Each structure stands twice: as C-alpha cells, then as structure tokens.
A and B are shown apart, each in its own frame.
Chain A
C-alpha cells in the first residue's frame, strides 16, 4: 500500500514538469519577451532602450533556457525558464507584469473566498446528485423517471449564464432576499454566498444526475443485487447500502472531473457576484493582458487538478482493494 502511494505521488512529478514546460513554451515561444514589452508599453513608447528597460524591470532580460554568460549552476538558474516558470514549483509566482505586485501574496489572500465558494458547491452538488440519481435508478422506467430525465436534458441545455442572470434578477432584485453581489469576510459572507452557491449547484445538476443514474443502473443489474433482493431486503436497503457502496468507484473517478468544471463555473460566478477569489483575479488579468498572472493561474489550476486526481486515486485504492494489487 505504501509503495503504491509513493509510486503514485512520484508519477505526479513528470506530469507537473510537462505542464510547466507546455505553459512556458506556449507563452514564451509564441510571444517573445520583446513582444510582451511592446504590448505592455503601448504604441507610443517603443524605442529599443525602453523595451530593454521594461524587460529588466520585469525580469525578462535573461536568455530563455541557457545562459552562456554565467558559470556553473548559474548557467541554468539565470534564465527566464528557471526564474519565471520552474520557480512556481516552490511557490514563487513572481511579479505581475502590469503592477509589479507579488502574485503569490495575491493568491494567498484570494484563495479563502474561492474555497468558501467552491467547497459548499462541490459538497452539495455531489450529495444532491447521488441522492437524486439513486432515487431515479430506483424508479427506473416509470413516468417520474422519464420526466426527470427530460428535465435533466433541459437543465443541461440552458446556458449557465441564464441561471446566473435569472437568479440575480429573481432573488436579489425582485424578492430582495440577498445582495446582488459583493463579499465580506467572516460569517457575514453567508448572505453573499447563498445565491452563488445555489446557482453553482443548479448549473451542474442536469449532467450530474444523469451521470449518477447511469452509474447506478449499471450496478443494479448485477448478481449481488439479485441476491440481496432474494434474501428479502427492502428496495431502499438494497439501493442505499449495497448499490451505493459498490458504485463508489465510478463516483470517485468522476469527482475530479467535477472539480474541473467548478473552475469554469467559478470564473463566471466570481465575476458576476464580485467575489474576490482566484477566478475574478484571472478574469482581471485577462482583461489587462497580464501574462504573468495568467501563466501563474494556469499552472496553479493544473496543480490543483493533478492533486485532486491523486487524492481520488488514493481514495480509490482505499475503497477498492483490487486496485492496490495492480
């Protein structure tokens, strides 16, 4: 078991390195530091001296991968790749291209609001989806099931933007139950987070319920279910105790995928509800063409996703003893 965990953790490193290299080459091989400097300086001031000064102020004056002017270890460390990209491995996210503020500090202060939004959505979504999915699997073939299935397709076919706009209009403007947008730290955040969480849960309801329904249906035709029924167990006992336990494996595989969708949802939700989280930070960076922040956020997002996958794999091996042998 320990060997499996260690092997699984070590496997993360080459993936992270690959992501880092990919992001670096996407940013630096397509638009060189000179291009970035010119873009940041605007049309007016583009003399070679000014470009050079901008690059030095932002730390882009090093060579890309190999610094021939330095000796020993510094050949590699005094390069853009090492200082701007590899440094993200030990949490050094560098400075913003536009404001020269440290990005790491900003991330640390924004991660709490983001988590306060994401974690409730994530938990409520999973519990609701599993419960309703199980219920529909129990009702399979009935009219209620058919209507619910069509409802799921309908929910999936509506843009998330509509849920947000309609939610804001209905709850905040017409009924005036919650504020339209904004954020306060501490317990006061609850009234600001109520609507975004509700909308966030609603967005993933359609596809989520459908997915879990299929998962449970796959289990419901197995032999052990027939045995359990033959022993005279009630249908709800069969569903909630036997089917649910055995469906844990596909559920756990799907969880990181759901987290991936939350990233997208978060960008929209944080933008609409003015929540000072990482999503809003990214959107601002896109609007101001701040390459350094976007680069840092892409890497951070990938790290979080890979960690999520790792976590789900480890849970997987705890739930299913067969995995450990493989």
Chain B
C-alpha cells in the first residue's frame, strides 16, 4: 500500500516537493546563524567551489525533472481519447517524467543498432541484395542521421538520453543513502555520547559489530536476500554506512557534554531532550554535513562497481554502472566501440568531481580546526 504510493507518480511528486521544501527550510534556518553565514561567504570566494556548486545544481535539476511527472491519456491515431468501454474510464499510459517529455526527440529517435557519435551511417554493415541476384555488405544510412550527439548503443538507444536518465539514479543513491543513515547515526551517536554508561556500551557493541562486516560483503548478503533494485541498494548502503558517522558523533557529544555551556544547562535543570536539541545537535550539525558531502561521491562511485558485480540496481534501472556493464565487451570489438563507456565515465566524473571539490571547500569552511592547519 505504502510502497504503491511511493512508486506512483503522485507519491514521487509529493516526495520531491517535500524534500525541496525541507531543504529550503533548513537553508533558511541556517542562514540566520552567523557561523553558517561566515562559512557560506568563505565558500563563495573560491571560484572552483562556486563552479562545482553550479554543476551540482544542474545535475540536481535534471534529477528533479526526472522525478516528477504525470500520466497522459492514451489517444488513438485520430487523436481521440481511448476508453476501456465506449463510455468507460479513460485509459492512461505508464506516465513520463518531465525530463522524458523535454527529451522526446532523444527518447524516440531510435536506430536499429550501434552508430558512432554524430554519424550519418550505421556503425555495422548489413548484407543487402543488389539487382542481379548478388548481395553486398553496406553500411545503411541512419533513420536520424547526425542527431545522436553521443551515438547509439547495441539496441539503437541514444547514449546521451541514457546518460541523462542515469543522473537520477546516481543522485538518489548518493542522497537517499545519506538520508537513511543520518537519523540512525545521530540518534545512536548522540544517545551513546550523552547518556553514557550501559547504553553507551550497548551502542558501541552494536556499531563495532556492524562495522566489522566489510561493506561490500554486507551489501552482497543484503542484495542476495532482498534482490537487486534501487531501494534495496540504498537501504543496504545506508545500513552499512551509519557506523562511521555514529562513532564520530559519539566522540563529539562526549566532548560537548563536558563543555561549560552544557554543564550550565544541566545545573539550571534543563531537561536532557532540550539540551540535546538546543545545545548538542546544532553543535554537531557541521560534522553531519561534512560527512554527508564527502560520502556522497563515494556512494555514487560504489553504485557503478556494485552494479557491475551484480549486486546493484539491476538491469531494468538506467544507471552508469549498468551502462558500463553493458558496454564492457564492446572494447574487445574491432573497431572499438568506445562512446557508451566514455559517456558513462564522463557523466559520472561530472557529478563526482564537483561533489568532491565542493565537499572539500565546505569542510574547510565549516571546520575551523582544519582551517588553521593550511
């Protein structure tokens, strides 16, 4: 029931809207604090960071456009609405995202098989009958010559379209994994650090056990049990990655608990939940943000490797990992078919490199301890 809602367009649109609203509220609240304003001012001074941020925003825009959409009624050749019965309900199609609708030319211009970037003829040759009974090998012209900026793949789908569609998968992996891991890590880390004692021992035991299992093997076990797919992969990666942040937050909370302002709040009789929300969480938020930013890129990279290993998003979801997996054997052909591989790598680099650069700048701006070292 709930899963059905999340998979329907109404559900997806709602989630995107809620996430954007949440982000806006968070930004507004943070912008009122001097510490974050100073950090933002410092980030803006680095041209490279600003450029990275713009690129990241572009990727995010594509992902958002690909996440919202609607279903349209099916029409027959004359443009009349199809109905289940003569007076029955209107039949709707599976629905397309806004990105799909914007990219209609790319989406629908399908060739028969491989074609090189901007080529006018097909990449492979076909046997054609010549008048007179003989046959010859020719490279037939494309249906849409010169329109495929990055060529087409084995079944003739435009590579640029696939690369753009994969952006959403990459962004979801990076963001959803973090969104799943952060609440866990914050809850356990702060509880352990603040209350200490037996609770602390239990939580420490829990995360030591969890982090003792190598991540890739844990994901492998998880995926073989629950099957391949984007939600499963995010869940598995989220469960596997909360321990690092948890350890960090526990240590920081332990330190903050002894700070004078927290001690003063305790003496004044402030309830502990209020201390945690007022004094602890605002003071560890920068750690959460730094970790999330630095993790983002490694999650995107991990998706490709995991999908290649057969424990990723599966073949029916478009992703860079799936593209690389499809295209791997093409390098052994002669002449080499390089465009699909290269497109996947370049698009991946276009997300991961800005994320790394921007993450580094944010870390330097938010963590005064690191700043003094340079």
Residues on A lying within 8 angstroms of B by beta carbon are 14-15, 18-19, 22-23, 26-27, 30-31, 141, 153-154, 156-162, 165, 168-169, 173, 214, 217-218, 221, 260, 263-264, 267-268, 271, 282-283, 286-287, 289, 291, 294-295, 297-298, 301-302, 305-306, 309
Contact = CB atoms under 8 A, between A and B. Distances in A.
Contacts of A157: 297, 301, 349, 352-353, 355-356
B205 A14 contact: yes
The main secondary structure of chain B at its interface with chain A is: helix
A282 B209 contact: no
Contacts of A218: 373
A298 B224 contact: no
A267 B301 contact: no
Contact of B209 (A18, A168, A294): A18
A263 B222 CA distance: 17
Contacts of A267: 216, 309
A258 to B, nearest CB: 12
Contacts of B305: 159-161, 264, 268
B225 A22 contact: no
B75 interface: no
Interface residues of B, number: 44
B225 A264 contact: no
Given A153-B356, A157-B353, A283-B310, 4 more contacts: A154-B353, A214-B373, A298-B214, A301-B213
B221 A159 contact: no
Given A165-B328, A302-B212, A286 B220 contact: yes
Contacts, number: 127
B215 A264 contact: yes
Interface in B323-374: 324, 328, 331-332, 341, 345, 348-349, 352-353, 355-357, 360, 373-374
Contacts of B224: 286, 289, 291, 294
Given A160-B305, A268-B309, A263 B214 contact: yes
Given A160-B301, A263-B216, A286-B311, A27 B225 contact: yes
B304 interface: yes
A141 B341 CA distance: 37
B218 interface: yes
A169 B338 CA distance: 11
21 contacts: A18-B205, A30-B226, A156-B356, A158-B345, A159-B345, A160-B301, A160-B305, A161-B304, A161-B308, A165-B324, A165-B328, A214-B373, A264-B302, A264-B305, A267-B309, A271-B309, A282-B217, A283-B309, A286-B224, A287-B310, A302-B213
Contacts of B208: 15, 18
B217 to A, nearest CB: 5
Nearest to A28: B225
B217 A26 contact: no
A268 B373 contact: no
B214 A264 contact: yes
Nearest to B345: A162
B353 A263 contact: no
Contacts of A26: 221-222, 225
Which of A156, A161, A294, A309 has its CB near the most chain B CB atoms (within 10 A)? Answer: A161
Contacts of A287: 310
Nearest to A168: B331
Contact of A169 (B302, B331, B348): B331
B282 to A, nearest CB: 26
A130 to B, nearest CB: 19
Nearest to B334: A173
